[in-house]
Amino acid sequence: DFRAAMRLIVGNVSVITAGIGDDRSGLVVISVVSLSAEPPKVIACVNRSSSTWPIIERYRHFGVNSLGPQHQRVAERFSGFGGIKGKDRYEGAEWTTLKTGASLLADAVAAFDCSLDEMI
């Protein structure tokens, strides 16, 4: 399943989601890369000055949501267009959670529920 899902995100735009409830944010990334298939691991680059960095560090989990053309508004919100920040970025889309509690876009092309292994 991991390999099949990774094939869907080549050259794709993704949203990284982090946090729980009112203490959450997220951002758009243009590169999510498979580090290994066994165990399944991904790498995403998040700038330390991002508002999402400390939330990932605090909760030690995050979601990776691969976007399709129907997700333009989601991408705009998570890019911060119009000054949208934090939990307000989640409005206007349907979200779900799995094991870690990270928010996953219900109709994402592919979604990954991730536990943080390392921040460099």
84 neighbors 50 (Cβ within 8 angstroms)? no
Which pair of structure tokens corresponds to residue 20? 């729980």
Interacting residues of 90 by C-beta distance below 8 A, sequence separation 6+: 17, 24, 26, 77, 103
- Give tens-digit pLDDT for 10-62: 567 999 999 999 999 999 998 888 899 999 999 999 999 999 999 999 999 99
- Does the pTM surpass 0.85? The reply is yes
Q: Which domains does the chain possess?
A: 2-115 (2.30.110.10)
Query: Average model confidence (pLDDT) for the chain?
Result: 93
**How far apart are alpha carbons 55 and 42 in whole angstroms?**
18
34 neighbors 1 (Cβ within 8 angstroms)? no
